[in-house]
Chain A
Amino acid sequence: MKDLLAALRKDLLLQWRGRAQVIAIFAFGAAALLLFSFAIGPDSAALREHAAGFLWLGLLLASTLALAESFEREMEEQALEGLLLLPASPRGLYYGKALANWAHLALLGVALVPVMVVLYDAGTLRLFSLVGVILLGTAGLSAPGTLYAAMTSQTRARQTLLPLLLFPLVVPVLLAAVKATSLLILGDPMGQLRPWTTLLAAFGVIHWSIGGLLFGRVVED
């Protein structure tokens, strides 16, 4: 727990110091949403229908930048190795970084919602439920994303490898998050929201558990 708190504090501080990058990643996500809206055209019903899908696609694309960035700082001067040699627990380092990445992605998701509302005319009054879905969805992106970002951070083709590895794995998150968000925007007459959020929660529990177990093997020689 000591190592987890120390890692979380360090990673949140690093994100705060790199806030210009956080803003740039938000701008990237917003630009993706704008471009997707051009692909649909001026049909307001179609825009609203696809809003949830594009929100999560934008968030997924932006998340690869955020996840990769979180390990750039670790690799510049092999700072992560320095912590492992102290020795810091790999599990504590993983959960600290995954929580910081989760906070970053959740903030990014929440910040993209007004962009979606403006571009796609797709709002909802169930704001707390929407934030809950964003929290569950971004938890499902952050846990495997942190593990794969660590795995690819030492490779030359990391910008390509991270999405190649991560995207197929998080298809269930994408599907469930899009469906749950759509139900919140377009209405949920059949009460389908709970099964989709349960799927998101189950995916999160599995991958947060696996990530903690595997991280040591990924970052140690």
Chain B
Amino acid sequence: MSRMIAVAASGVCRRYGRRWALTDVTFEVPEGALVMVTGRNGSGKSTLLRILATAIRADRGTVRILDLDVREDRDSVRRKVALLGHRTHLYEPLTALENLAARARFLGADPRRGPLLSRLEEVGLADRGDDPVQAFSAGMRQRLALASVLQQQARVVLLDEPYGHLDPPGFLLVDGLLQRLRREGTTVLMATHLVNRGRNLCDRGLVLEAGRLAYAGTAAQMPQPLGADGAGFAEGA
């Protein structure tokens, strides 16, 4: 039995000024798949994820998420998609718990301390819940941003460099979260430069080169987009 298509992009183009960041990107992702998106800096990974998350619009082409058009059914798509971007979407002066509580109120979820502390515990921040985000290190902010993504309980999760700023235990935390999302049937697209790690964790891979899709297939057979240098990247614990 074939699985439902969770993400379908067709001829997606996006430009910033005169420069095309994405050109004619077409691919499909079945529901429940764990997909690595990789490519050199500036190859269009973040732009692609931001289009899928409806943070920005494609200039050309169509994107459907769980059979909903991102242009026409934007709010419905947003209820099903969560994005971890380069920026954390957090309020610096608020504490970790206040940030999660503020988002919970918009989501119609429980904003009380107990459930939010459990959420913080998942990312190893339970003892820092009352500290303002501005006192957090970059890695702790990343962990809190991951907690806020999990809070959405989305069917499609888009992670842009989820290992960014994290220490080795943080790497294992992300690995665990990805495995948990896979078990729950969540579709995950993860942009990362950690190709070897992604190959081990993901089912499928997309490689972008200068805004064009250079590879779409299984993660195991994915080419090394970073060349010889990429293989030398430290991939944490």
Contact = CB atoms under 8 A, between A and B. Distances in A.
Interface string A66-88: 00000001001111011111111
B94 interface: yes
Interface stretch (A8-16, A24-32, A166-174, A200-208): A8-16
A17 interface: yes
Interface of A: 2-3, 5-7, 9-10, 13-14, 17-18, 73, 76-79, 81-88, 221
A39 to B, nearest CB: 37
A86 to B, nearest CB: 5
Contacts of A84: 78
Nearest to A221: B56
B186 to A, nearest CB: 17
B15 interface: no
Interface in B53-104: 53-57, 74-75, 78-79, 81-83, 85, 87-94, 98, 102-103
Contact of B105 (A2, A76, A81): A2
A6 B55 contact: no
Nearest to A83: B106
Contacts of A87: 74-75, 78-79
B79 A81 contact: no
B53 A85 contact: yes
B88 A17 contact: no
Contacts of B53: 85
B89 A2 contact: no
Interface residues on B, range: 20 to 34
A215 B82 CA distance: 23
A17 B55 contact: no
Nearest to B152: A86
Contacts of A7: 106
Given A6-B102, A85-B54, A221-B57, A78 B94 contact: no
Interface of B: 53-57, 74-75, 78-79, 81-83, 85, 87-94, 98, 102-103, 105-108, 132, 148, 152
A80 to B, nearest CB: 9
A4 B39 CA distance: 41
Contact of B107 (A5, A14, A79, A86): A86
9 contacts: A2-B105, A14-B93, A73-B93, A77-B91, A77-B92, A78-B85, A85-B78, A85-B83, A87-B78
A76 B53 CA distance: 20
B163 to A, nearest CB: 19
> 8 closest pairs, A vs B, by CB?
A82-B89, A6-B105, A87-B78, A17-B93, A78-B87, A221-B56, A10-B102, A88-B106
| Residue in B83, B85, B91 with the greatest tally of chain A CB atoms within 10 Å | B91
Contacts of B98: 13
Contacts of B102: 6, 9-10, 13
B75 A81 contact: no
Contacts of A88: 106
Given A86-B103, A86-B152, A77 B88 contact: yes
A14 B91 contact: yes
Nearest to B88: A77
B87 A13 contact: no
B46 to A, nearest CB: 12
Contacts of B103: 82-83, 86
Nearest to B74: A87
Contact of B94 (A5, A13, A83, A86): A13
B134 to A, nearest CB: 9
A79 B99 CA distance: 10
Contacts of A9: 102, 105
A93 to B, nearest CB: 9
A77 B107 CA distance: 19
A76 B91 CA distance: 8
Contact of B91 (A2, A79, A221): A79
Contacts of B88: 77
